[in-house]
Each structure stands twice: as C-alpha cells, then as structure tokens.
Amino acid sequence: MELLDATLVNWSRAQFAMTAMYHWLFVPLTLGLGVIMSIMETLYVRTGDEAWKKATKFWMTLFGVNFAIGVATGIILEFEFGTNWSNYSWFVGDIFGAPLAIEGIMAFFMEATFISIMFFGWNKVGKKFHLASTWLTVTGATLSALWILVANAWMQYPAGMTFNPDTVRNEMTDFWSILLSPVAINKFFHTVLSGWVMGALFVVGVSSWFLLKKRETDFALKSILVGAIFGLASSLLIAYTGDGSAYQVTQKQPMKLAAMEGLYEGKTGAGLVAIGILNPSKESFNDTVNPYLFKIEIPKMLSMLGYRDAEAYVPGIRNIIEGGYETKNGTALSFEEKQARGKAAVQALADYKKAVSAKDSIAATLYKSKLDENYAHFGYGYLDKPEDLIPNVPMVFYSFHIMVMLGMYFIGLFAIVLFFTFRKRIQNAAWLLLICLLSIPLGYIAGELGWVVAEVGRQPWAIQDILPVQAAISNISSDSVKITFFLFLVLFSGLLLAEVRIMIRQIKKGPENH
C-alpha cells in the first residue's frame, strides 16, 4: 500500500466526515420517531381511540420526510468507500462488505416492502396488519443501523479475520465473533438509544409548541406523555450503555480513553474529570506543562469505570507511547517497539511476495511466519513518529464531556416534564414548554459529538492497529476530492433546508390537516 500526500488524506477525511455528519442528522430521528409512532399506533389498535390514530399519522408524516432524505445521504456515504477509500476497501472489503451487504438484503428490503403499506394502507388492510407493517418498517431501520454499526465496531476492534498475503486482503474466519463482538453489541445499543432520545426530544419539543400556541391540546398532551416516558427510559438506558462504552474503550483503545480524559500521565486510582478546561499551552506528550487550567474530578471513578477496580492503573498518553506498564496481556510495548514490529511485518509481506514470484517455497514459508508473528502491529509500520498516535485531544475531550453533560440534562428534562404532566400542570408551565422546544437541537448536538468521540478518538487508525488512515485512501487527485466535497456540501445543505421547510410546514398544519 502506497502512502499518499497529506492534502489528499485531509480532504478525503473531511469529505467523509462531512457526509457522515449530515447523514447522522437524519438517522437518529428516524430511529426514535419510528418507535414512538409505532407505540402510538399500538395504543390505537388496543384502545380504538381515534385520537391515537390521529397522533400516529401526524408523526408518521414527519418520519417519512426525514426517512427519505436520510436514505439519500446514506447511499452517497457508502459509495465513498469505493471512490475515496479504495485501499481500505481492497484491504478489508471481504469483511467490511459483509455487514453492508446483509444490511441491503435484510434490512433495506424489509423497510422498502413495508413502508408503502405503512403510509398508504390505512384503509386497505386490517388494523393489525397495518400495525405489523409499521413495526416491521421500524425494525428494518433499526436492523440497518445494526449492520452499519457492526462494520464500524470491527474497525474499532478487528476480530474474526486472518490476513492472506497472496491477495493482500483480510478474510473473514468467524462471522459470529464479528457480529457478537462486545464492542459491536455495546455500540449498537448505545447508538440506537441515542436515536430514541432524539425522537423523544423531538416529539416533546414539537408538542410543547402546540401547547404554547394553545392548539391541538389533547394531541399534544398525549404525545408529550408518550415522548417523555420513552425519553426518560431511553436516557437512563443510554447512561448504562455509556458505562459499557467506557469499559470497552479502556480495554480496546486506551489512547482514545486518555484523549477523552486529557490524561497524559498514568495514575493508580485515577479520577474521572467531571468539569475541566484544558491548557492550550500543552504542546507535547512529554513536556512538563500541566494539561489542565482547571478541573474537578470524581476520585477513583475512571479506574472504576475502566477496569471495575477503584485502584486500577490507567495509562496516560505518555505511558501508552513509552510503554513499560503492566497489562492483563503482559508488559505494554512502546511506540518504537510496535513501529519496529510493524515495519518487520510490512517488509515480511514484500519479501514473501518476492519469494512466491521466485517460487522459493522455503523462503516464502519463513517470511509468512514472520508476517504472522508481527501482523498485530502491521499498521505501525506506516507511522513515522510517536505523535502520530495521538488524536486531537481538545476535540475529543470537549466533545466527550459536553455529550455526557447533555445526557444528564436530558434525564432531568424528561423527569421534570413527566412530573408536570402527571400533576396536570404542563399546559401552564410556559417556561418549561419553551425549554423543551429549544432542547430539540441539543439532541442533534449530543449525537454528533458522540460520533466525534468515536471517530476522531481512534485516529490515526482506519482499522485499529492494522491500517492507518493515510494508507487507506484512493490514489486520486486531491482537486477532485475538493470539488466533490463542495458539491456534496451544497447538495446536503439543500436537502437539510428542504427537510426543515417541509417539516415546519407540516407541523404548522397540525394533525388535523396533515
């Protein structure tokens, strides 16, 4: 694999990041709003109350608008693997392509089959069949998320594969270890739950607008009740899966954890930073500058979350680079040791290819053995200096902490809304209704920040320890990537503006005239 210029790498990363962030503006609402409207239709079928049918059809209209635009951005995102990341696609396509193919065959066809019945079958099929179609559409959307997240989790924690030096490709050897990876399972639940929280915020916020306008009061109160209960349950569950995420990151990606906490020096019984401000004068992992201007810690909590042991040692950025500390797998290697093993693996691959060409089976066997011995650090052979291992610490740190604070805020918000709803005081609490309405964008921000932590935090890796980003891109002109970047930016911005306009128009019409 050939390393390409930094300009091409940066523009390719920027284009993929921009596409992914636009796509994630649509996906969470699809996941969350889909479940809420399905719950409402279930209540309609069970009670026969036409008010629940009216509510279901209103939210279903908004679901459909959001769903359509989300599909458009998602298709472009998948095409970019072939256009901008062809080295990546070649190197791991046998593995990465499998969950994407399953998504298309299983989930996407399920959505495509039942979504038409869901939208147009109200007076053409029975109530229970229509309800089943609604739930199957939402299930299809959730399964789409499952397979995409399985693929992403494999990039964070590659498992269930072996490297074939003859084809220079990684090949799947254990599908179930990929699907049931602890990283994949936790990522799926955490990500889907974030969509559920987003859907709940949207329903509660829009319903609050109706109450502020003194319109559709019964509809709004019913929607707020369902949305707030669903949102509180989802927020509490996401806190649980967030704990699981912290544990998996600690075990599999210690550098990401160190960046999330701004931890440069390892500690026994490390505390969790609740609030902190990083020192912009901190320029290197081995300088003596204090990484913080200010911080408040929860004592020993980071060790407890990461290792389930309040006295456990948590390595910092400097320790991860210099190695020498003890892990459950032995003494940690330094960057230089990993780099040497990576270069040995890269060289062994080149020597193996030459030996095969020369039909020297003995030499080929020796070189393959050396490659297998060092392959776990293959990607380090493409890195030049220790600093290459460190992600953008301020971006990861602030994204993580703001995301966590927003998650705690959502728990409090839903709890307060439920309190006022059960006390039948929500209609008169204009201040709370306004807060709910203004909180809708915070759900989007929290979701985007979660992906910043996940993806920026694992840099420089396209695949953890195996393939760095600069070795994963296509050998194309950086100018072509720049052009398509701005074309996509204009296109996606137009789609987003169109969705917002359509959504606002439909909301203003209300459930009676949707």
Q: For residues 90 and 81, what is the distance between their CA atoms, to the nearest angstrom? A: 10
| Torsion from C-alpha of 383, 385, 391, 397, nearest 10 degrees | 160
Digits of tens for pLDDT over the chain (514 positions)? 545 567 899 999 999 999 999 999 999 999 999 999 999 999 999 999 999 999 999 999 999 989 888 887 888 888 888 888 999 999 998 898 888 888 877 777 788 788 889 989 888 898 999 999 999 999 998 998 899 899 999 999 999 999 999 999 999 999 999 999 999 999 999 999 999 999 999 999 999 999 999 999 999 999 999 999 999 999 999 999 999 999 999 999 999 999 999 999 999 999 999 999 999 999 888 888 999 999 999 999 999 999 999 999 999 999 999 999 988 888 999 999 999 999 999 999 999 999 999 999 999 999 999 999 999 999 999 999 999 999 999 999 999 999 999 999 999 999 999 999 999 999 999 999 999 999 999 999 999 999 999 999 999 999 999 999 999 999 888 899 999 999 999 999 999 999 999 999 999 998 876 5
Q: What is the torsional sign of CA 443, 444, 445, 447? A: positive
Q: For residues 185 and 6, what is the distance between their CA atoms, to the nearest angstrom? A: 34
Q: What is the torsional sign of CA 27, 33, 37, 43? A: positive
Q: For residues 379 and 381, what is the distance between their CA atoms, to the nearest angstrom? A: 5
Q: For residues 469 and 91, what is the distance between their CA atoms, to the nearest angstrom? A: 12
Tokens of 354: 């030459």
Q: Please, how many CA atoms are within 13 Å of residue 434, restricted to the half-sphere of its CB?
A: 4
Give me the residue spans of the domains in the chain.
6-253+391-509, 259-330, 333-382
Tokens of 43: 């209540």
Task: Check: CB of residue 295 under 8 Å from CB of residue 426.
Answer: no
Question: Distance of alpha carbon 116 from its chain centroid, rounded?
Answer: 29
pLDDT at site 293: 94
Other Cβ atoms within 10 Å of 266 Cβ, number? 18
Tokens of 48: 């026969």
pLDDT at site 1: 52
Question: Alpha helix (H) ranges present in 103-181?
Answer: 109-120, 127-156, 175-179
pLDDT at site 112: 79
**Preceding peptide of 460 cis, ω within 30°:** yes
pLDDT at site 77: 82
Which H or E run includes 461? strand 461-463
| Secondary structure class of 420 (helix, strand, coil) | helix
- Cα 224 to Cα 285, 392, 504, distances in angstroms: 49, 40, 18
pLDDT at site 166: 92
- What does the longest C-alpha to C-alpha distance in the chain come to? 84
Which H or E run includes 162? strand 161-164
Q: Please, how many CA atoms are within 13 Å of residue 285, restricted to the half-sphere of its CB?
A: 25
Q: Which of 404, 433, 142 is nearest to 298 (CA)?
A: 404
Q: What is the torsional sign of CA 176, 194, 492, 117? A: positive
Those residues whose C-beta lies under 8 Å from the C-beta of residue 114, and which sit 6 or more positions away, are 133, 134, 136, 137, 140
Those residues whose C-beta lies under 8 Å from the C-beta of residue 321, and which sit 6 or more positions away, are 285, 334, 335, 386, 389, 390
- The pair phi, psi for residue 463, each rounded to 5°, is -130, 125
Which amino acid, 444?
A: Y
pLDDT at site 127: 92
pLDDT at site 513: 60
pLDDT at site 296: 94
Measured between its terminal Cα atoms, the distance across the chain in Å is 55
pLDDT at site 75: 81
Q: Which of 322, 61, 90, 102 is nearest to 206 (CA)?
A: 61
Q: For residues 445 and 339, what is the distance between their CA atoms, to the nearest angstrom? A: 37
* pTM confidence score: 0.92
